[in-house]
């Protein structure tokens, strides 16, 4: 199975700050990488698919980049509603696998 190593485990940021979350795949995944946000008691919400494509309705302060085995999610101009846990997920090979999550809090 493809392992997804996500960092950091947790992060705190001030309003208006820019933050980045990294995801490293154990093998190349050809940009089949998605990012999700999950808030307590809720289902995950898709933010980014195919490494850098913004899902409909997601604010443009979210962006994704990367290739090969290394990918990142950037959140610009941190807002209160951006608090939550963020997961990466590879969709290149079954079984699909998720990163361990990054908890993002407001400082």
Binding site for other proteins (CB under 8 A): 1, 34, 36, 38, 43-46, 49, 55, 87, 89, 91, 94-101
Check: CB of residue 69 under 8 Å from CB of residue 55: no
Q: Rounded to the nearest whole angstrom, what is the least distance from the CB of residue 14 to other proteins in the complex?
A: 26
User: Own/partner pairs for 50-55, CB < 8 Å, 24+ apart?
Assistant: none
DSSP per-residue string spanning 56-77? TT--TTEEEEEETTEEEEEE-S
Q: Kindly tell me which of 19 and 86 has the beta carbon lying closer to other proteins.
A: 86
Q: Kindly tell me which of 15 and 59 has the beta carbon lying closer to other proteins.
A: 59
Q: Kindly tell me which of 74 and 93 has the beta carbon lying closer to other proteins.
A: 93
Q: Rounded to the nearest whole angstrom, what is the least distance from the CB of residue 101 to other proteins in the complex?
A: 5
């Amino acid at each position: 199975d493809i392992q997804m190593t996500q960092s950091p485990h947790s992060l705190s940021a001030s309003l208006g700050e820019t933050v980045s979350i990294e995801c490293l795949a154990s093998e190349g995944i050809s940009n089949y990488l998605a990012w999700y946000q999950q808030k307590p008691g809720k289902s995950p919400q898709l933010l980014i698919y195919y490494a850098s494509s913004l899902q409909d309705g997601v604010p443009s302060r979210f962006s994704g980049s990367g290739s090969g085995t290394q990918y990142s999610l950037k959140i610009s101009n941190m807002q209160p509603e951006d608090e939550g846990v963020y997961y990466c997920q590879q969709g290149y090979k079954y079984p699909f696998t998720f990163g361990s999550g990054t908890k993002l809090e407001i400082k």
